DNA sequence: CAAACCTTACCACAACTGTGTCAAGGTTCC
DNA sequence: GGAACCTTGACACAGTTGTGGTAAGGTTTG
């Protein structure tokens, strides 16, 4: 039995029928339709529904996030714009006035010590 | 004058001071701090603030979307997980029973025609 | 030291998200 | 033709997001 109706699909995947429609409206999973317009979930959709659930739970993200990720890879200009902005990395304080700069340098050590307790050691670059 | 306080930065970038703090809390733009803890916006931050505004407006996305994009490129396992899911593209109905398949093929033309008239009808909610 | 800044931490509030339920109507199938 | 499905659309409601305030308290500087 591969072709399931929405309620059957809901039952076997742990989603609700309501959410299946919602997931579809977000453009994440769009099942085939029968001649009468009934949604028909095949094995592929069922698999994607289950892995989608895992994806959300394991990384603490939302449906909207996945939808946005899809937009990112479908809309090229959007992707380049977003990536371009992100890559315009925050500069060192090369732009501030000299006296302030001194203060910053002085406090930098204190700041670094404080920051050492905070989790942000990811300095990887894919450039 | 490159080192601006939060209100000055707000004024020159069009954001509100409130939103500058919000943008910072989202991890998007984290200005340096003076010895006393005052936020100090340099030319780099100002530029990023302005381009951020454009980015949001031009593509109709939200701050959370940009923050998520940043997460995507910082957290490698998240990125691979999301991309993996997205690339598990929805299959053709190879998984459904044969008779249903026939119906689908038959109605596909009608469906395509119908879809052609409704490009992306965003259902209006009753205001 | 007082004015005019800044800070964090709350209260507030509209809009959107995620989710349920219900209604009115079409489809399937016995 | 009626039970048991499905469809879209709407009302509802808690939680989050985006945004504004305000309060209590440090900082800077005339």
**pTM of the complete model:** 0.73
Residue A115 has pLDDT above 70, yes or no: no
DSSP B89-124: PPPPGGGS-HHHHHHHHHHHHHHHHHHHH-S---PP
| Residue pLDDT, tens place only, B4-57 | 999 999 999 999 999 999 999 999 999 999 999 999 999 999 999 999 999 998
**Strand C contact with A64 (CB < 7 A):** yes
Q: How far apart are CA B37 and CA A125, in angstroms?
A: 29
DSSP state of B36: T
Residues A21, A40: Cα–Cα separation, whole Å: 12
Q: What is the C-alpha to C-alpha distance for residues A116 and B91, in angstroms, rounded to an integer?
A: 48
Residue written as token pair 């000299």: A98
Query: How far apart are alpha carbons A64 and A6 in whole angstroms?
Result: 21
CB B38 within 7 Å, strand C? yes
Residue with tokens 């998984």: B95
Out of 1.10.10.10, 3.40.50.1970, 2.120.10.30, 1.10.1660.10, the CATH code matching A6-61 is: 1.10.1660.10
Q: Do B35 and A106 touch (CB under 8 A)?
A: yes
SS3 at position A84 = helix
| Maximal CA-CA distance, chain B | 74
Total H helices, total E strands in chain B: 6, 2
Domain extent listing, chain A: 6-61, 82-116
Q: Residue A90: what pLDDT?
A: 56
The CA–CA distances, whole Å, from A113 to A23, A107, A109, A116, B29 equal 45, 10, 6, 5, 21
Locate the DSSP E strands across A17-93. 32-33, 39-40
pLDDT tens digits, B53-84:
999 989 989 999 999 999 999 999 999 999 99
Chain A nearest-CA residue for B77? A59
Provide the positions of strand C that have an atom within 7 A of a protein CB: 5-8, 17-21, 26-28
CB A9 within 8 A of CB A46: yes
What pLDDT score does B122 carry?
29
Among A69, A95, A124, the residue with its CB nearest the CB of B72 is A69
CA A100, distance to chain mean position in Å, is 38
Inter-chain touch B48–A88, beta carbons under 8 Å:
yes
C-beta atoms surrounding B42 within 10 Å:
23
Is any Cβ of chain A less than 8 angstroms from the Cβ of B80? no
pLDDT at B86 over 60: yes
């Amino acid at each position: 039995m591969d072709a399931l109706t929405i309620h059957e699909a809901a039952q076997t995947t742990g989603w609700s029928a309501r959410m299946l429609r919602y997931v579809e409206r977000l453009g994440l999973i769009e099942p085939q339709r029968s001649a009468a317009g009934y949604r028909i979930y095949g094995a592929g959709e069922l698999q994607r529904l289950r892995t989608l659930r895992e994806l959300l739970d394991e990384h603490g993200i939302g449906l909207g996030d996945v939808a946005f990720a899809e937009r990112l890879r479908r809309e090229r200009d959007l992707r380049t714009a977003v990536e371009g902005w992100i890559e315009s990395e925050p500069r060192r304080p090369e732009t501030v006035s000299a006296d302030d700069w001194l203060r910053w340098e002085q406090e930098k050590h204190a700041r670094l010590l404080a920051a050492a307790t905070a989790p942000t050691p990811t300095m990887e670059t894919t450039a």
